[in-house]
Structure 1
Amino acid sequence: MYLRAREKSLIFIGLKFTVVLVNVVANILFIVKLKYGVSGIFAANAVSSAFALLILSPVIVRNFRPQVRKTTLFELLRFGLPYVPSGLAAVIMDLVDRFILQRLTDYTTTGIYSAGYKLGMFMALFVAAFRFAWHPFFLSVAKQENAKQIYSKVLNYFVFACSMVFLLISFFIDEIVRLRIFGFTLFGVSYWSSTRIVPVIMLSYLMYGIYVNFLIGIYLKKKTHVLPFITGTAAVINVLFNFLLIPQMGMMGAAWATLIAYFSMAAILYFVVQRWYYISYEWRKLTLLVFLSAAAFFLQRHLSFLLAPVPRLLLVLMLPVGLWIFGFFEPSAKRRILNYLAFWKR
């Protein structure tokens, strides 16, 4: 948190990458070599966390002094305690679909669904990277006169970037799961059918990213007390739609229930927070972006000549071209893009 607050993004990213690498090595050691089983996962997490603490110890010693102020402590608790029930609701949303799917179908279906859910992590990683950078950024510009305009533009470009990731992964997901590395594929043949849920799972993470964008007013106006209501409502919606859709649609029903829940969470937050901190988002541009992305997705699904890799890649690239033509990018952004392209032509 200190590195993010100080906008030390490169150090933060380097540390995160190193911790992940240590975690992977520790998992291999405890699970594969030492045969610890499931407990090896917890041991690996403990090792990677201890490593992060060790690396950050000089920063902690140099910059933090123990002080207890009752007023500050009260403010911290008032701001932070709502995250406990909110976090619990988030855990329920993340896990309940597989629990219900297992009860209503079988272990095989649940295993295939879990594999597809992991493939949706491509979008989850992108959203997580944005979230780490977003909090210190929006706090740093909050006092600027044009802060709300900046926040609106950020949402535009965030959804655009997510749309590009969505189309790329959706169009090439079959090649990704079949890719051989040292003679092994990413998933076994029996799990290849899980790719059909990946687009829906990625859209769920995109909606979570939009939810993260809408959190601005909650932080700036210190209204975290509403978060348990919002995430709790979304968790209930998730459970209800899982029970409603899984008997009819199987694992696709679980995926759609997840998307509906995350959409509901973002929508509820938007309408609640706009009362305290109104931001005029550019819904016309966002609607254009959604329309063109959906058109590209459905064209690829229904036109046979788009099955080849090159036409699929060209279709992905048509999204920014279409947005350019229809005015999604403002003149200043167009100039920066043209200057960037001119630089690479040299």
Structure 2
Amino acid sequence: MGQLRSLAGQTAIYGVSSILGRVINYLLVGLHTAIFLPEQLGIVASLFAYTAIFLVIYTYGMETTFFRFAKDNLEKAYTSSCTVVIIISTVLSATIYFNSDFLAPLIGYPSAGKYIEWLAIILWIDAVLSIPFGRLRFENKAKKFASIKIANILINIGLQFFFLLIIPSLDSSFEVTIGSIFLANLIANALMVLMLYKEVIKIRFHWDKQVMQTVFSYSTPIFLMGLAGMMNEQLDKILIEHFLPDSYYKSMDSTAATGVYSQTFKLGVLMMLAVQAFRYAGEPFFFAQADDKKAPELFARVMHYFVIFGLLLFVLVSLNVDFIASIFLRQPEYRVALYLVPLILFGKLIYGVYLNLSIWFKITDKTRYGLYFSLIGLFVTLAGNVLLLPKIGLLGCAISIICCYLSMSLVCYIIGQKHFPIPYNFTKLIPYAITAVVLVYMGELYQHPNFTIDTTINIVCSILITIVLWVIEKNKLSAGKL
């Protein structure tokens, strides 16, 4: 009970900070969709998708590796992890920066050379700071971690409003371009180095061959797994450009469709935040509890409440997606794909289930299995998008997300029970899942023609659903089973 409350407390801090940060950051969705056309935001989405994939290469699995070895020797794990990340990041960023004009046409955006240079610097900063941020998590300094993340978001948003609204209002000759988005990110990320000053000055460059062999033997499968996993998350935004026929939608080409899809995808932010907050708090928690003989039962209870909370989010966001979209997607052309949001939410929930299931191969040092599962997911993602995009358009992306994480979860569960049995009670969760899907389907099927009345009904239903779920689970909570 105490361990679960501790995990819940840490998750709450990470979650509240992430939610607050993303809610504030969501102001940018409204700003961007009011100023830029879908095809312009399509370029932004594609470049940030490449950036997310490359960040995994830069960090080379060192964040998880740091957690694995920090409990034995914190300073040695910190120094070794930072050394590896700095070397990889410096080599890659220098290569990308000085070859930006060559790389830009290769990815389909010949005029994006300057943006790629800025992204190379952003990648270097993000990668090098990933281990100091990991140290904050390991030392349970969740409040400092959260404060810096929120400050970064506030600075980024402030700069973007300055570049996109304030300067143009003062100088009519100022040209508003998507470059302002990348420049604001660069400045905000650079300032994080100062915020992490105490952790940064503890970095020592040290290469111990024997230690590095151990580090790389653990981190390489984690890196490959992370790379495949990130490609699962970002590949659809890249593939739309190449496999969606320009003639599929009358109102937009493939670049514009990428912009619409990327903004629609952001409406699933609450589920993504829940999963992210759980990962931040859960990873150190699981490692800390791994040697406890009651760990399997504890992990099963964690899964139970994670799924229930995730299903509640799935229902609440899906029922109110039209209202949410009316606030953040300012131009009507961005709202043509709202039907995808429930599918995206459900896919991300399944990903959270996979993160729960995946703990067995991390604490048993069988990280190669994570690579195998991620490769299965990558194959499903790639095949699903390539086959479905030309036939059913953006719906193919959403279906591929669900199929990807479902296949990974099933295989991970089956194999995991043979190596580290955990008594998950999925039979109790299935009725919740079925009920959630039915509620969302009914909400889609029966919509009042008056937007205000429909929104009011959905909000009232959301409140009632939350109350009913709380009553159902109240006995377990009051009995001290959480």
Q: Specify if TM > 0.5.
A: yes
Match of 1:109 among 257, 265, 278: 257
Cross-structure match for 2:75: none
Match of 1:158 among 306, 322, 325: 306
Alignment deviations for residues 9-54 of structure 1 (CA, whole Å, 9 cap, x no partner): 2221111111222233344556665868455544434333332222
1:97 correspondence with 2:233: no
1:220 correspondence with 2:367: no
Cross-structure match for 1:341: none
Cross-structure match for 1:121: 269
User: Residues 49, 121 of structure 1: CA spacing in aligned structure 2 closer, same or farther, 3 A cutoff?
Assistant: same
User: Residues 250, 5 of structure 1: CA spacing in aligned structure 2 closer, same or farther, 3 A cutoff?
Assistant: same
1:297 correspondence with 2:437: no
- Show the 5 A alignment for 1:129-208: 129-179=277-327, 186-208=329-351
- Root-mean-square deviation (CA, aligned residues, Å) is 2.9
User: Residues 44, 269 of structure 1: CA spacing in aligned structure 2 closer, same or farther, 3 A cutoff?
Assistant: farther
TM superposition shift of 1:132: 0.8
Q: Distance in 1 between matches of 2:159 and 2:470?
A: 47
TM superposition shift of 1:188: 0.8
1:55 correspondence with 2:233: no
TM superposition shift of 1:159: 1.2
Q: Distance in 1 between matches of 2:294 and 2:183?
A: 48
Which shifted more, 27-36 or 210-219? 27-36
Which shifted more, 153-162 or 22-31? 22-31
Q: Distance in 2 between matches of 1:236 and 1:39?
A: 34
- The answer (yes or no) to whether the contact 1:30–1:43 under 8 Å persists in 2 is no
User: Residues 218, 30 of structure 1: CA spacing in aligned structure 2 closer, same or farther, 3 A cutoff?
Assistant: farther
Cross-structure match for 1:246: 389
Ranges in structure 2 where 5+ consecutive residues have no aligned partner: 1-133, 168-173, 247-252
User: Residues 29, 139 of structure 1: CA spacing in aligned structure 2 closer, same or farther, 3 A cutoff?
Assistant: same
SS at match of 2:140: coil
- The answer (yes or no) to whether the contact 1:83–1:228 under 8 Å persists in 2 is yes
User: Residues 304, 20 of structure 1: CA spacing in aligned structure 2 closer, same or farther, 3 A cutoff?
Assistant: closer
Alignment deviations for residues 158-183 of structure 1 (CA, whole Å, 9 cap, x no partner): 1111111111111111111112xxxx
Cross-structure match for 1:7: 140
Alignment deviations for residues 308-334 of structure 1 (CA, whole Å, 9 cap, x no partner): 344433433454565567x6x384413
Q: Distance in 2 between matches of 1:110 and 1:40?
A: 20
- Show the 5 A alignment for 1:8-47: 8-28=141-161, 33=167, 37=177, 39-47=179-187
Alignment deviations for residues 136-159 of structure 1 (CA, whole Å, 9 cap, x no partner): 121222222321111111111111
SS at match of 1:105: coil
- The answer (yes or no) to whether the contact 1:97–1:254 under 8 Å persists in 2 is yes
Alignment deviations for residues 185-208 of structure 1 (CA, whole Å, 9 cap, x no partner): 533111112211011111121111
Q: Distance in 1 between matches of 2:262 and 2:345?
A: 14
Structure 1 length-normalised TM: 0.83
The count of aligned residue pairs is: 329
Match for 1:52: what amino acid?
A: M
Q: Distance in 2 between matches of 1:83 and 1:308?
A: 46
Alignment deviations for residues 188-239 of structure 1 (CA, whole Å, 9 cap, x no partner): 1111122110111111211111111122112211122222322122111112
- The answer (yes or no) to whether the contact 2:329–2:335 under 8 Å persists in 1 is no
Structure 2 length-normalised TM: 0.62
TM superposition shift of 1:260: 0.9
User: Residues 124, 147 of structure 1: CA spacing in aligned structure 2 closer, same or farther, 3 A cutoff?
Assistant: same
Match for 2:421: what amino acid?
A: Y
Q: Distance in 2 between matches of 1:31 and 1:311?
A: 37
Cross-structure match for 2:100: none
Cross-structure match for 2:462: 316
User: Residues 30, 77 of structure 1: CA spacing in aligned structure 2 closer, same or farther, 3 A cutoff?
Assistant: farther
Cross-structure match for 2:79: none
User: Residues 173, 332 of structure 1: CA spacing in aligned structure 2 closer, same or farther, 3 A cutoff?
Assistant: closer
Match for 2:295: what amino acid?
A: A
Alignment deviations for residues 45-82 of structure 1 (CA, whole Å, 9 cap, x no partner): 433333222221213435x6555544432221111122
User: Residues 262, 276 of structure 1: CA spacing in aligned structure 2 closer, same or farther, 3 A cutoff?
Assistant: same
